[in-house]
Amino acid sequence: MLYAAYGSNLDPEQMAHRCPHSPLRGTGWLTGWRLTFGGDGWDGPLPTVVEDTTDPDAQVFVGLYDVSEADTATLDQWESADTGLYRKLTVRVATLDGDVTAWVYALDDFEGGVPSARTLGILSDAAEVAGAPADYVQALRSRECTSGW
């Protein structure tokens, strides 16, 4: 099954470093979902995705990676899924070639909080490198944020 990256793993260079046996297969959209932040990481709230039943236009840009079994274990460590911080959900991703099934990491903590400028910078840079539309990248860059630590 494919992995749908919405955060810093949108950056193909970062993913090639973390998961060298897991090629980028394309990009798409989680429709009916939104990017939000929650929990408490070392730099403030962490990125996550949640279903959004109130906004019919809600969507999150994702990169689709064909993650090998060995790379999955490594990625689970990078994303702290092996500690329970994030859990894996199966989602439907809309692509130009039709819908595909993928898994995504979702924060297993409360939603809410304002991310740091550093976190938003990392996410928006990764989205831009992955080919997200300019208006999506601009929306990330213009979100409310804190100065971080």
Paired residues of 35 in beta bridges: 49
SS3 content of the chain, % helix, strand, coil (to 5): 30, 40, 30
DSSP state for residue 84 in the 8-state scheme = T
| Residue 13 is among the residues annotated as catalytic for this protein | no
Q: How far is CA 53 from CA 5, 95, 140, in A?
A: 21, 21, 21
Indicate which residue of 13, 51, 69, 79 is catalytic. Answer: 79
Report the amino acid identity of residue 35. L
d(C-alpha 64, C-alpha 5), whole Å: 6
Residue 4 assigned to a binding site? yes
Determine if residue 142 is labeled as part of a ligand binding site.
Answer: no
- Say how far apart CA 111 and CA 109 lie, in whole Å: 7
8 in a known ligand binding site: yes
Report whether 136 belongs to an annotated binding site.
no
Q: Is 7 annotated as a binding residue?
A: yes
Quickly tell me which residue has 């959900």 as its tokens.
89
Instruction: Find out whether 94 is annotated in a ligand binding site.
Output: no
Q: What residues form the annotated binding site for substrate?
A: 3-8
Catalytic residues: 79
Q: Which residues are annotated as a binding site?
A: 3-8
